[in-house]
Amino acid sequence: MTNASGLAAPPAGAGTLALLGGDPIGAPTRPQYPRFTDRARERVDELLRTGPMVGLSKEHPQVGEAEAAIATWHGVERCLTTASGHAALHAALIGLEITAGAEVITTPYSWGASTSPILHNGAVPVYADVDPDRGLLDPDSVREAIGPRTEAILVTHIFGQPADMTALRELADAKGLALIEDGSQAHGARHRGRRVGCFGDVSGFSCMGGKLLATTEAGYLVTGREDVYWKAILSCQHAGGTEHPGRTAEPGFPSDLLPFSDSLNYTYRLGVLNAVLLVEQLAKLDAENDARRRNRDRFLEAIEGVGSVRAPDYPDGDPVFHMVTLNFVPEHAGVSKETYLAALQAEGAPVFSYITTPLHRLERLRPDTPAPRVMWSEHLRRAGVDYAALELPGCDAKVERSIEMSWNWIDDDPAAMAQLGAAFVKVEQHLDALREHDRRAG
């Protein structure tokens, strides 16, 4: 049933907000996540019993299987598995030889793992603005940020939302820049029908236990560029030379790189148990992503008529919803976002704000920070960056209004979506009481 305002009728016993002493709607029971199949567990057990447990290259059967499966799924020529998503992005920058103060334009609205590989490789992040509804890199702002030292664009598909890869690819090609994708939250997201990860010169993905393609802790790099693949390997993977075949044993390893293949590298290789999990998790990823989408549609139907939040639109993309992001509408709600979040949380809705401080405002990126010195302190000082002076209104707006929910709903669950929606509806129906609470608290 709905009332005159178009909102669903309040649940029984929902006369007072839980934040103000009433009974909560309650939190829906979340599914176990990640979920591993019997086959995955059996294969891991078999590997534990029989080995081999050292996998330095595609010559190891499980590592080779994982890299072939991922490359095929993305529709690219090469995959390099890594220990983490950070390792994958760092390997991408190494493979592109982007270092020595080169500038990489990237997003300020992201987790730090998209910026830290730039810093770790001796390059300088340059922050462009994002669109205020989705928090995705704005191609027009990227264009304005290009300077004489710019060598690359690193774009993050945050929350599983695909960025405008058509515009960014055209811009990168026109300016002679490398394009790097961070798909750590977006395995399977599509832009204009194509999976993210195949637009960039090279792309990095995280596969830790909370991601869409979830193992325990892993990542991978995909690329269509042979030179990037081998140069990334040179500094990020084991060359071999023992009883375990290393990357130099792989077919096609360039002879001109052999003199530089040594032990001066990062230990970024994948653990072989996670190689098994990658293959088995990938086999069911598309079905799980479809369930995430259907559940998101059900949730939006459940909150139809709620004016305090607004969901982004995706005219050119097909997200996969690692998280669902909404935008708070304070002009309608008449309360602060903090109060609104507290009211939803009291009802049992698992809401939060994922990015509370944009990257360009972080203390440790200030040239005069009293924080302990790290590998980027001096090269940022020499570069003369002053991130604090940046004006990025789209990013500020997204930070101020963004509300997220983790979205590991990998089974169709209409009841859970209705329960989540009921919390939003209840708060909407009691905005007057919430405004009075906010007024008294302020």
Residue 245: its pLDDT value, please?
93
The architecture that CATH gives domain 38-283 is 3-Layer(aba) Sandwich (3.40)
User: Is the overall model pTM greater than 0.85, yes or no?
Assistant: yes
Average pLDDT of every residue of the chain: 95
Dihedrals φ, ψ of 388, to 5°? -65, -25
Q: How far apart are CA 87 and CA 261, in angstroms?
A: 19
Indicate whether 431 pLDDT > 90: yes
Dihedrals φ, ψ of 184, to 5°? -60, -20
Least reliable range by pLDDT among 44-48, 53-57, 302-306, 436-440: 436-440
Q: How far apart are CA 379 and CA 377, in angstroms?
A: 6
Residue 47: its pLDDT value, please?
97
Hey, what are 374's tokens?
């790290």
Q: Where are the alpha helices (DSSP H) in 54-188?
A: 61-74, 85-96, 116-120, 139-145, 165-175
Count of other CB atoms within 10 angstroms of residue 392: 22
Average pLDDT in the 6-21 region? 71
178-182 and 150-156 beta bridge pairing: parallel
pLDDT category at 9 given cuts 50, 70, 90 is: low
Indicate whether 10 pLDDT > 80: no
Indicate whether 128 pLDDT > 80: yes
Burial string for 249-274 (b: 16+ CB within 10 Å, else e) reads ebeebeeeeeeebeeebeebbbbbbb
Give whole-number Cα distances, 411 to 38, 186, 292, 415, in Å: 17, 18, 8, 11
Q: How far apart are CA 181 and CA 93, in angstroms?
A: 11
pLDDT tens digit sequence for 81-95: 999 999 999 999 999
Domain residue spans of the chain = 38-283
Indicate whether 14 pLDDT > 70: no
Q: How far apart are CA 68 and CA 80, in angstroms?
A: 9
Give whole-number Cα distances, 256 to 38, 122, 262, 369, in Å: 45, 25, 13, 43
Complete edge-to-edge strand list for the sheet that includes strand 78-82: 78-82, 219-223, 202-206, 178-182, 150-156, 103-106, 124-127
Give whole-number Cα distances, 213 to 296, 339, 378, 382, in Å: 18, 34, 37, 39
Identify the CA nearest to 206 among candidates 69, 77, 111.
111
Indicate whether 217 pLDDT > 70: yes
Average pLDDT in the 307-335 region? 97
Residue 1: its pLDDT value, please?
42
pLDDT tens digit sequence for 327-370: 999 999 999 999 999 999 999 999 999 999 999 999 999 988 99
Hey, what are 185's tokens?
């939250």
pLDDT tens digit sequence for 94-115: 999 999 999 999 999 999 999 9
